[in-house]
Structures are given as structure tokens and as C-alpha cells.
Structure 1
């Protein structure tokens, strides 16, 4: 550290991720570059120090944003940070719509709800966090930085359709529009829930479904059934198979979130929507993989002349696609029952409100 750096005022910014799962990954990326962004966006004459920490594995749900801000404020005081920013995957709501962020000048803390940022969460957080830090320091009349004529122009450019809401004690919230904000929130919840993890968790199911399709392809009754059914019926069978699979996964593995003393009804509904959308996306991708594999197997196993003899007409590539379509749909229903063989922990990770104890994350206070 040079002589000039030692004489620059230091401001310590704490970045807390709760739960320490997906939010911690965003926080780790942001921590590496936050000091430079603060120097560029807030004040270059300050020595910015960024501390990274993990919050609760299961953050309190019943108190909403106020409980979250209280917990972060207690952490800020205990660790002697000047300000603290919390990144969370909790979907938070106000009367006006989804809550994107909120600052509390008296606590010197702020919160960012990652799902409310939509799909581009890291990019939006890069824009939001420096401005939230600037807001907190301005509200606290911190003499180490010049007061900023602060406006959420950058945040609004990254997260469209948000507006300010001034709450009690001068707290400032950023609320998304009811329609666009809710769609963005649900998309962000799926993003934060990491559907790729759910897809990998269904590997046993996919292998079992491949086995079922291989068996079905050897049955000429299935060939005739696929030929007799029209596109509408095949679409209905496919939709029923995917719906049955998602429903079975939720019921068999206890993924449905019920409202209780700690989980308000609106939050439980959002958790369930996030779980359904995540599983739907994962099963849809699994179905496409199964369909592509079935087309390949059908082309290798079933000779054109044999298929023509069974169907009593000339066949082309569309007949193989139709055959793969019906066998994949029927195998998906069988896969739903076979999903009970999946690893419980892996499947439960698809539930939005479920956060397993992260073995790889350690709070700096524990290390």
C-alpha cells in the first residue's frame, strides 16, 4: 500500500448472500469487481474495501423485506462494515408489485431481490449495487464522499419498468410494474433455481424412458397406433405425459410449498410457480433429448420395408418422427412412475423454497 493510499479514507462495503447458494455465486462474481466500480461510479478518492459473507441458508420468510434488512443490519454492525448490501433469491412483493430493491438509510443496508432482475441478473446487479451504496452513504451524510444528486437512471436502464416508492423513515424501494415485473420475476426465479441442475437430477428417469422407448419400438401395435392418431391427439398425449411427470415429481418428493406461520400465502404461491416452471423446463428439455434419441434408434432398428408392410402403405421420414413422438410420450408417462427412484436430495433441489446446506460455502466468520 502506497503512502497516498494509506491516507485516503476507507469505506468498507459488506456484500451478503442469502441463502448461500445461487446468490453466493452472483456475490462472488460481483465482489471481484465491486471496488473498481465504486471508485468509478461513486468516488475515486476513497479506498473501497469489499467484504463478502454468507447469510442464512433459509432466510426468514414471515417478516418480508423488513426481517431481511434487520438481519443484514445486525450483521453489518457485528462486522463493523460501513454499509451492507444483501443479495437474495427471495421473491419479495409490495402492494404495487414485485420489489426489486430497497434501501434503509437508518440501518445503512440495502437489499436486492435477484429474481426481480429477470434473466440478466449479474448484469443488472452490477448496475444496481454501486448506486445503492451511493444512496446509503448520501442518506447517512457520510463526509468521506460528496453528496450525490442520486437518481436510479442506471438501474432503470438495466431493469425496465421500475419506479421509486418512499416508505417509512425515508426508506426507498424500487418496485416493478405489476404485469411486466411479475413476468420478469417468474423468469428470474427459474433462472435462480438453475433448471440445469434439475435436468441433471432427472438422469435416471431419462435412462429409464429410453429403455421404455426401445421396448415400444419393437411393438407393431405402437406403429399402427401412431399411424392412426392425428397430430392433435399426439399433442394431447405428449402434454398429458409431461404434466403427469411434473405432477408426480412434485407429489412423490414433497415439493409443494404450503402456507404456514412462516410462509405467507403469496410467497408460497410464488415458490410453487417457480418449482412448476423449473420442472416443466427441465422435463421439456428431457423430452426433446428423448425424442431425438428415439428418432435415431427407430431409424437404426426399423427397416423401411418392415414398417411399410405393417402400415400397408409407403412411408417416409415423417412416419419415423410420428413413431418417435408417440413412443416418447408413452415413455414419459412411464418415466413419471420411475421418477420415484431418483435421488431425493437431487430432486428436492428443484423446489424453489428448498436450500440444502451448502458444503462448499463457508462464512468468513466461521473460517
Structure 2
């Protein structure tokens, strides 16, 4: 521990990806806040690395000890991991190991909204619990209304649990954010190419125009939803993205993995579908003459008619794209979902890698 005259040295460690970007975004403000609260100079260092997990999917206690050994000159080590954690049947937001001067915060349990503020507040709360009392009291403003601290029997380990009702939905949404569905859609460029090729036929075939005009809005929306769900199911099936629990202990966490996988792909495929609708819509405006379309369908033409054609054509394209769709590389498959990434963290006694 640093003396009163030496700066307080903090180590912030984050998983690669969105966790690291969140840490980098809050570091400056967090450093300023620590200085204000503790009235002491502070040095903060950020490192990107993946903390290992064991074969049960739990954070490896040996790896946590290694963090402590690697940063002996640090007064506290704060780790932000994308591993969803469960203990005692509840989502575990944070865990403090006082003897190792380390706190582990699970990013997915923070949900979707205002995650930067939540990370900063929970970091501050954990830091004040790790440091001696003379550094400053734990202030109520850093407590979270949706989570509660519990202490273990020895008293040197503290756990922050999410509310039993909102914990699971918040964690699934947080895992989806960590999966970065906005970056998943471009990895389906092969499927998008196939969908575009087939969808473009809708611009040139009269029967598609007539069918789009005859179908009700509800039926068209139902068709769109059906093809999106079909493509999601196909991607999960063909790429083996559905995880199965290796034992009952990790069954609930695997359920969260699968839930976030479905939600991630739903967002990605919906974006692909809407992008295709927009592209076909503008293509139809250029190619299809309004007067000719009006003569064909026997009624006045508006932009909604072009949108109907684009929507139905895109649905046809997505169905065709789903049949031959896959991710553009094996690396994309491994990085797209929590379950695949956590598999990379695991190690066995025979293969410590």
C-alpha cells in the first residue's frame, strides 16, 4: 500500500472489445473523481486482457491471484470482464477480494443504459471498500438501487448482487451489447450479397408488385418477422451457436448465453433486412414508372406502394440469403457471441492454454 506522500496507483483491466472502450471512455473522469474523493494524487493505468475462466465457466481464482502478483506495486486492481457471473442464484455484479487488492466487475450485469456512469460508480464503490478507512468513507451516492452488497463469513470478501427480478433481463441485454450486434451485421456480407441479388428481382417482376399491393400491412409485417426469425434460426443451426450446459451448475449462465445470442442475431439480421428494404425502395423508385404501376394495380400510386414492393422483395431476398448464409470467417463465428468467446477462455489441466 502506498505511503501518504506517494501517489495512489490504480490498475484498470478490461476484456478486449466494448469493455475496453468503456474503460477508456471513463478513465479521465474516474481519475479526477478519485482525486476529489480521496484528496490524494492518483496514477491510473489501463490494460487490455482476458481473464481466464475454468471449465465450469467461473472466473479462475488462480488467474485472479496472478493479477495480484503481476501488479504488486498497485494499491488496487479493478477488472471489468464481459463474463456474466452467477452466485447463489443471482446475477453477481461485482466481487471484491480484499486479500488480493482486486475487484471483479461483470460488465453484462450493468445492462444497456448509462453503462459508463454505472461502471464509474461501481469502480468507485469497490475502490473505497478495498482501501483503508482513512482514504475516505464509502459514500451513499455510489450505491446502486438495483443491487445490494453482501459480505462473506470471513469478512474480507464482498459481493454485489443484482436484484432477483431485473438481474436476468439486464444481464442478457448487457451481454447483447458486449456482443456488438452493430458490428455483427457487416460480417454477414455474403448473406447480404445473396439477399440483394434475389431481392432485386422484385423490382422487375410484375407479379411481385401485384402481390405487394394485394397483401395487407399486417400480413407484410408478419412476412418480415417470419423471414428474420428463420434466418436467425438458420445462422444458429449452421454455425452451431447454441450452447449446451456441461453441468447443472452452469445451466443458468448458458441460458443467458443463448438468450444473448438470439437477441444479437435478431438485431444484426433486422439491420440487414432494413438495409435491403431501403436499397430496393430507392431502386424501385428509379426503375418502376408510377403511371405504369398505377395501370397495373388499378389504383393511384404512392410511396407506400414502393415501400410494400421493397418490403416483400427484401423478404424474398433474406430467405434466399439465409439458405446459403454463414459468417465470413471462422474468427467472426468465435467473436460473435458470448458462448463462443468464453470457450476460448477456458483451459484444462492438460492444456493450460
Question: Aligned-pair distance for 1:8?
Answer: 0.9
Aligned to 1:44: 39
TM-score, length basis structure 2: 0.86
Counterpart-to-counterpart distance in 1, 2:131 and 2:122: 15
Alignment-derived partner of residue 155 in structure 1: 143
Q: How far off is 1:112 after superposition?
A: 0.8
- Structure 1 runs of 4+ aligned residues shifted over 6 Å read none
Whole-angstrom distance in 2 between the partners of 1:32 and 1:69: 30
1:172 corresponds to 2:167: no
Displacement of 1:70 after TM fit?
4.6
- 1:142 aligns with none
In structure 1, C-alpha distance between the alignment counterparts of 2:16 and 2:297, rounded to whole Å: 57
Q: Distance in 2 between matches of 1:244 and 1:325?
A: 16
Distance 1:304 1:34, change over 3 A: closer
Structure 1: gaps of 5 or more residues: 139-144, 359-367
Q: What's the Cα RMSD here?
A: 2.8
Give the direction of change, closer, same or farther, for the CA distance of 1:78–1:6 in structure 2 (3 Å limit).
closer
Query: Residue 93 of structure 2 contacts residue 106 of structure 2 at CA under 8 Å; is this kept in 1?
Result: yes
1:146 Cα offset (Å)? 0.7
- Cα pair 1:16 1:72 within 8 Å, conserved: no
Give per-residue Cα distances to partners, 1:308-327, cap 9 Å, x unaligned.
33223333322222111211
1:233-270 per-residue CA deviation (whole Å, 9 max, x = no partner) reads 22221111001111111122222222126982112111
- Aligned in 2, Cα 1:181/1:36: closer, same or farther, shift over 3 Å? same
Match of 2:311 among 318, 321, 325: 325
* Residue 22 (structure 1) aligned with residue 18 (structure 2): yes
In structure 2, the residue corresponding to 1:349 is in which secondary structure? helix
- For residue 61 of structure 1, report the CA deviation from its aligned partner: 5.9
Once the 2 structures are TM-superposed, how far is the Cα of residue 277 of structure 1 from its aligned partner? 0.8
- The gaps in structure 2 that reach 5 residues or longer are 345-353
The CA distance in 2 between the partners of 1:298 and 1:230, in whole Å, is 20
1:113 to 82, 106, 112: 106
Cα distance change, pair 317–11 in 1 and its aligned pair in 2 (3 A)? closer
2:198 paired residue number: 212
Distance 2:52 2:316 in 1: 39
Find the aligned partners of 1:206 and 1:44 in 2 and give their Cα distance: 55
Within 1, Cα distance between the matches of 2:341 and 2:71? 25
What aligned pairs does 1:1-367 form with structure 2 within 5 A after superposition?
8-17=5-14, 19-41=15-37, 43-45=38-40, 47-56=41-50, 59-60=53-54, 62=56, 64=58, 67-68=59-60, 70-80=62-72, 81-95=74-88, 97-119=90-112, 120-138=114-132, 146=134, 148-156=136-144, 160-170=145-155, 171-260=157-246, 264-340=250-326, 342-355=328-341
How far the C-alpha of 1:280 sits from its partner, in A, is 0.6
Contact 1:72 1:84 in 2 (8 A): no
**Structure 2 partner of 1:141:** none
**Which residue number corresponds to residue 363 of structure 1?**
none
Q: Report the Cα distance in structure 2 between the residues aligned to 1:126 and 1:278, rounded to whole angstroms.
A: 26
CA distance in 1 between partners of 2:61 and 2:28 (Å): 24
SS at match of 2:100: coil
What's the CA shift string for 1:13-37, capped at 9, x where partnerless? 22222x3333233333444554433
Q: Distance between the aligned counterparts of 2:56 and 2:45, measured in 1?
A: 28
Give 1:136 deviation, angstroms.
0.8
Q: Cα distance 1:136–1:6, how it changes in 2: closer, same or farther (>3 A)?
A: closer
CA distance in 2, matches of 1:161, 1:246: 32
Distance 2:62 2:327 in 1: 42
Residue pair 2:17, 2:178 contacting (<8 A) in 1 also: no
Change (3 A) 1:261 1:332: same
Q: CA distance change for structure 1 residues 129 and 259 in 2, over 3 Å: closer, same or farther?
A: same
Query: Which residue of the partner structure matches residue 348 of structure 2?
Result: none
Distance in 1 separating the partners of 2:120 and 2:184: 27
